[in-house]
Structures are given as structure tokens and as C-alpha cells.
Structure 1
Amino acid sequence: MSLQNIEIEKNILNQYKIILEDWIPQDASIAIAVNNRFIYFSTGHHHFSLKVGSDVPKDSIAYKVLQTGRKVDAVMENTLFESPYYAIGYPILVNGEQGALVVVLPPLFKVKSSDIYQFLTGKQMEDWIPISIDQISHIESLQKRTWFYSKGEQYKTAITLKELQTRLPNNFLRIHRSYIINICYIKKISRDLTSNFIVQLNDGVELPVSQSYINNLRAVLEF
């Protein structure tokens, strides 16, 4: 690549960054990929495990955008960063080549308030029962199904934890790839014999906190 083309490419990438800075949070991160390689990144608070020139992981947002040529958004699990993250990928052109621009939002990012769930409809036997969000103590992913719990009762829902994570109120927090808890139902947080954190709910249920999510739990509860 000639020096002129390199300068053109740098100018294009910087233009994207300047435009995005007007509407994304300051602690968001930006990555751009072309030909299945990352060619640019600007980090917010995240700790990147990628470098310019590194291959695009096949289970990443960038890869999905490059393959489909469409906008993709999802909550991702430890693909590029040390903690789960919400990302939006956009198809772009860089010097005439198809690329992917990925905006990585802060871990505690939530969608706009009008999209927040006010209730979940759960299934018990052959009945569907709407349950107010504030009555749900925790949500679990088990055997490729999602279950939520209210007043000791278990309900099944078709909504995945990834979908729920961005559409639940701020008092719901992901603590494990299998669990989301309502922090209003926490009785105490302690350590087990291996010094891992355990959350005990008011009804006595104990749930583990994985290392990927402990920083988010500490940030929210300030301990």
C-alpha cells in the first residue's frame, strides 16, 4: 500500500471516529475490520485483546457484519474483551472494500427506557402468566431454556438472557453466563471456600458470580 493510500485510509478512519464521538458514550470503543482483519481501533474503558492486523474471530460482531453485509447488534460473551459487552456493527466501505465498523458500548449500557420490560410472560404447564418485573427475583439459563423465578415459582420464557440483559431495568444485573439477578432481592454477598463470590437471595437461593461479571457487580453495588 502506498503512502498516499495509507494517508487516505487514516483520514477515512478518523472521520468515522469524529462522527461517532458526537453520539456514542465517551467510554465506548470503536473497531474497524476489512478483509477479515482489524485495521483500526480506538479504546474507551475496555481492555482489548486484539491488535491492528489481527484476524477477526468467527464468533464476533465484526465477522457477522462482514459475512452478511448488514447491521448486527448483540450482547457478546468474552469474544474480544475481558467482560461481556453490547456491540453494534455496521457495514461500511473503506477504499472501496467491504468493511465492518463495530461500536462497543459500556458493559452497563441499557437500551432506551421505552424498550425496558415492565413484565415477563412465563409458562407453567399449559398456562401463560404475566409477572411484573419487580416481582422477579432472578432469571436462569438451564438446558438451553430460560427460566425466571417469582415468589418461589418457576416460569419458562422464550426470551434469551442476552436479549433480557439489555431490556431489563437497572436493578437487574448479569452475574454469570447462566444467571441474571434482581439486586433488590439480594440478602448478602459472601465468598465460598475457594474465595469466589456467592450471592444469596432473600429466599435462600445461592448463585455463583463468575470472574467475567464480578467487576460489574462491584461497580453497581460499590463494594
Structure 2
Amino acid sequence: MKVENLLVKREELEQFKMILEDWIPKDASIAIAIAGNYVFYSPSTAHFHLKIGESVHPQSIAARVLSTRKKTEILSDDSLFGTPYYAVGYPISVNQEEAALIIVLPSTYSSEIQESYKFLTGRQEDDWTPIPIEQISHIESLQKRTWFYCNEEKFKTPITLKELQTKLPSCFLRIHRSYIINIYFIKRIAKDLTSNYIIELKNGVELPVSQSYLGDLRSVLEF
């Protein structure tokens, strides 16, 4: 069904926004999708910009909610819309049409609503060592494996960066598709010769900051 044929009044959709604004953070975006198209969008400056009438991407949270009619949560990297985000979708009805209400938040919110890891168990050859989470300086995805670093030692874990990102405490921040850092280990933030940001850790390690994650970094560290 085409959007122009849907008898949806903007005033009715605005009611959802009015109610939610008292409960959700100011940096949240709100979207409503019906019959495979977005019919309402109230963006924040932190997120990608949808257009009313735009088709729902088949891999998006809106598509999942419309097909399953269940509350859905996802943490997405920058591969789908160019910026990482955390989103919650709810099945609703608008004018007796099945719809999806989507709340989009910065990706950092996911770690605040779930119980965080207290330690990670890392492997070195045939030995396993539990490492307190606050002692880990950074985590890296390399050659389809995940490694974390503590006191200049390198440990392997079977948990992916995407999984870790949802359950690490708020002092951990993803800065790149391949890196998560502990902000307490940051020595300085600078620009390289190409004006891209890099982070130097206290142990001398330098890591690049992806443009997709720069907004989260600026928001958390306020620079």
C-alpha cells in the first residue's frame, strides 16, 4: 500500500511524539513505519535522516517489527545507515493499520541498560585468565578474532566486538569497526597528517577513530 493512500493524519502521529518526549532522551529520534514505508520521522542531530515516504530497509528494525509484531532491540554498526545506533521497536496500530514505532538512540545507550561485564576471561595458548574489566585498555577485532589487552599482554576471547559493545560498562567506547577503548586509558586525542582523529593510550598504542564513531566520542568526552 502506498503512503499517499494511507489515511494517517500527522496530528495523530504527533501524539506519539508528545507522549514519548517526556520519557526518552533528547538525543533520541522517533520514526513510525506502516506497510513498508516511513510515515513519520522526528530526528535528532545524532542520527541518520530518514524521509517520510522512504521504503523500510529489509534489514532494519522497522522491518523486523512489522514482520514479527514483537518488541525488538538492536545494536547496529555503521554498515547499514553509515552511523552506529541502538534502537528499540514496538508494534503499534495507527488507524487500524499495523505499524512499527521506532526509537533510535546513540549506540552508547545499549551499555547503560544492560548488566555490564565485571571481567573477561582471556586465552593465551592453553591457559585461561579472568581479567577484571577495569584493567583492560582496549579490545580489537583482527582477522575475524577478538583480542583484548591488559598490562601489555594480549588475550583472545570468543566474544565479538558487537556482542561486547552491548554489555561493557559505560567507560568503554567503540571508536572504530575494529576497536573499543577504555576511556580511562586515553592519554590524548589528536589529528594525524590527514586530519583524521587518533587516540593515543597511556601504554603508547595509537588507534584510529572512524568518522562513523566520532560523534559518540565527542558526545561522551565533550570536546
Matched, 1:58 2:48: no
Shift of 1:166: 3.5
What does residue 83 of structure 2 align with?
Answer: 83
What does residue 124 of structure 1 align with?
Answer: 124
Letter in 1 for 2:203: D
Matched, 1:73 2:73: yes
What does residue 5 of structure 1 align with?
Answer: 7
What does residue 38 of structure 1 align with?
Answer: 38
Within a 5 Å distance, the mapping from 1:1-223 to structure 2 comes to: 5-7=7-9, 10-11=11-12, 13-78=13-78, 83-112=83-112, 115-223=115-223
Q: Which whole-Å CA distance do the structure 2 matches of 1:172 and 1:191 have between them?
A: 21
Question: Normalization by structure 2: what TM-score?
Answer: 0.85
Contact persistence 1:121–1:129 (CA under 8 A): yes
Mean alpha-carbon deviation: is it higher for 139-148 or for 158-167?
A: 158-167
* Structure 1 residues 4 and 115: CA distance shift in structure 2, 3 A: closer
Contact persistence 1:47–1:82 (CA under 8 A): no
Residue-by-residue CA offset, 1:133-192 (whole Å, 9 max, x unaligned): 111010112233322111122222233322322432222111111111112212222222
Shift of 1:105: 1.6
Residue-by-residue CA offset, 1:4-52 (whole Å, 9 max, x unaligned): 9333x742x2343233233211221111111211111112333443100
SS of corresponding position for 1:5 = coil
**Structure 1: 5+ residue stretches without partners:** none
Q: Percent of aligned positions with the same letter in both sequences? A: 57
**Structure 2: 5+ residue stretches without partners:** none
Question: Normalization by structure 1: what TM-score?
Answer: 0.85
Q: Which whole-Å CA distance do the structure 2 matches of 1:121 and 1:209 have between them?
A: 26
Q: Which whole-Å CA distance do the structure 2 matches of 1:87 and 1:2 have between them?
A: 27
* Structure 1 residues 103 and 180: CA distance shift in structure 2, 3 A: same
Aligned-CA RMSD value: 2.7
Letter in 1 for 2:74: A
* Structure 1 residues 129 and 73: CA distance shift in structure 2, 3 A: same
* Structure 1 residues 67 and 143: CA distance shift in structure 2, 3 A: farther
* Structure 1 residues 126 and 96: CA distance shift in structure 2, 3 A: farther
* Structure 1 residues 100 and 144: CA distance shift in structure 2, 3 A: farther
SS of corresponding position for 2:70 = coil
Residue-by-residue CA offset, 1:42-88 (whole Å, 9 max, x unaligned): 12333443100001122321122223332221222236765311111
* Structure 1 residues 195 and 26: CA distance shift in structure 2, 3 A: closer
Shift of 1:209: 0.6
Q: Which whole-Å CA distance do the structure 2 matches of 1:3 and 1:66 have between them?
A: 18
Letter in 1 for 2:206: E
Count of residue pairs the alignment pairs up: 221
* Structure 1 residues 201 and 34: CA distance shift in structure 2, 3 A: same
Q: Which whole-Å CA distance do the structure 1 matches of 2:8 and 2:172 have between them?
A: 46
Q: Which whole-Å CA distance do the structure 1 matches of 2:95 and 2:113 have between them?
A: 38
